[in-house]
Amino acid sequence: MTDTEVVARPRAVLVGVDLGTGSSFDPTLDELALLAESAGDEPVARLIARRKAIDAAFYVGSGKADEIKELVTLHQAHCVIFDQALGPAQQRNLERHIGVEVLDRTGLILEIFAARARSHEGKLQVELARLQYLATRLVRRWSHLERQRGGFGLRGGPGETQIELDRRMIDARIKSVKERLAKVKRQRNTQRRSRERHGTFRVSLVGYTNAGKSTLFNALVKARTYAADQLFATLDTTTRQMYLEAAQRSVSLSDTVGFIRDLPHGLVEAFQATLQEAAEADLLLHVVDGASPTWLEQVQEVQRVLREIGADDLPQLLVFNKLDLIEDDARPRENVDHYELEPGRIVPRLFLSAAEGIGLAELRAAIAQASIDADAQVDTLPADVRFRSLDVDVDAEVGADASLDLDDVDASMEPLPDDLLEAAPDDAEHGANVDEHRSRHRAA
């Protein structure tokens, strides 16, 4: 870790629990470390506990809890961060036992989101998610967060007697935030509809957090969107026009919030509106950190979230980014090939480096081609199908047998079966450089 920073960051002990089920794909806790850094903490020690079953009181056994306590003392840590979701009682028990703040992955992600939200809507969404999390546990942590960022006015340190009162306050607050969100959403829909009338071809960047979406966005539209080696650097959707020579047209390009495994449920829900933007695109650029050892799990996680928001059947280009980090001999022979995203679903795949500007011309050409293909398909369809109604009753002039399935409307790429290349960069052992940590929201 580089430690030339003036501001001392809270020192954190990271704990992962291996339940032997293969459920966790981060046995090194690297992702948790990056999350902790993104939240402004400094990971000082990591500990993996192996257990057959979860302990009701401490999640880990009391022996491990003692071990954690020793680590905390040894490293003079300020908090302990669990990679797994702790129950409210477990969290409380651990805090009492260890004597410092204990939080879990969910709490950490919420904290990052809270620090990063910029737009009115984003702030409301994060507040809603935090309130929902808070409603289930009423932990002391919140008083600490409020002090740090000036939040929504909960008094610090709710004692047992105050819990009922707080819960009622929280419920009222949840209701009011939901109403405000609904209003913002209506405005957004109105804006979106007026945009739709212009018939712009819409491209959305989606992908796991830190894959390089914002870097690619900047490279493509030459805008300056915040890109950083932090998780969830981007929370609000940014949209710009991008001119494509090959298609002689402008398309809109949107940068979106990154995905991560086990995104707190409240956040998935809260960010539906933001992600909806992606769900309504004509083309998804699914950006993958091709140099990450866990890229495959990340792709699967992104696919899972896309399914959840109903965007999994949109045409996709898979963009393997960070080609520059891959050793020459591990690089793919071709910069463009095809990849089987899911059984039977083959999509074009491009290898590029957003940071070094390698492969951008090919990507622009592929986007142009996708927009031309989509137009060609739409032009041949009756108007009401363009508006995505299922099983359309088509006028007599058009033809009697045209009961169309949405799949036919989809401007998917032609599948090219059986000539897949091996997924090249997976065994390259490069991780993104996490050492270039910059101080984050503390500056705000």
Binding site for ligand GTP (CB under 6 A): 207, 209-215, 227-234, 258, 321-322, 324-325, 353-356, 432
DSSP E strands: which ranges in 41-155? 42-50, 79-82, 101-104
Crossing angle, helix 30-38 and helix 105-116, to 10 degrees?
Answer: 40
Q: Which residue is nearest to ligand GTP (CB)?
A: 258
Query: Shortest Cβ contact with Mg ion: which residue?
Result: 234
Q: For 257-296, b where at least 16 C-beta lie within 10 A, e where not — what string?
A: bbbbbbbbebbbebbebbbbbbbbbbbbbbbbbbbbbbbe
The yes or no reply on residue 319 touching Mg ion (CB under 5 A) is no
Residues within window 218-257 making contact with Mg ion, judged by CB under 5 A: 233-234
Task: Give which of 57, 10, 48 is closest to 30, Cα–Cα.
Answer: 48
What's the closest the beta carbon of residue 146 comes to ligand GTP, in angstroms? 25
CB of 131 to ligand GTP, least distance (A): 24
38 binds Mg ion (CB under 5 A): no
Pick between residue 261 and residue 322 the one whose CB is nearest to ligand GTP: 322
Which positions make up the binding site for Mg(2+)? 214, 234
Nearer to ligand GTP by C-beta: 330 or 372?
A: 330
Pattern 161-200, binding to Mg ion, x per CB under 5 A?
----------------------------------------
Q: Could you give the strand order of the β-sheet that contains 336-342, starting from the edge strand earlier in sequence?
A: 238-244, 249-255, 202-207, 283-289, 316-321, 345-351, 336-342
Q: Is 288 in contact with 236 (CB distance < 8 Å)?
A: no
Beta carbons of 244 and 364 less than 8 angstroms apart: yes
Length of the chain measured in residues: 444
Q: Does 292 bind Mg ion (CB under 5 A)?
A: no
Residue whose CB is less far from Mg ion, 210 or 316: 210
Q: Which residues participate in the annotated binding site for GTP?
A: 207-214, 232-236, 255-258, 321-324
Which token pair is 336?
Answer: 């463009």
102 vs 231 by CB, closer to ligand GTP: 231
Residue whose CB is less far from ligand GTP, 138 or 231:
231
At residue 313's C-alpha, the angle toward residues 311 and 319, to 5°, is 80
Binding residues for Mg ion (CB under 5 A): 213-214, 233-234
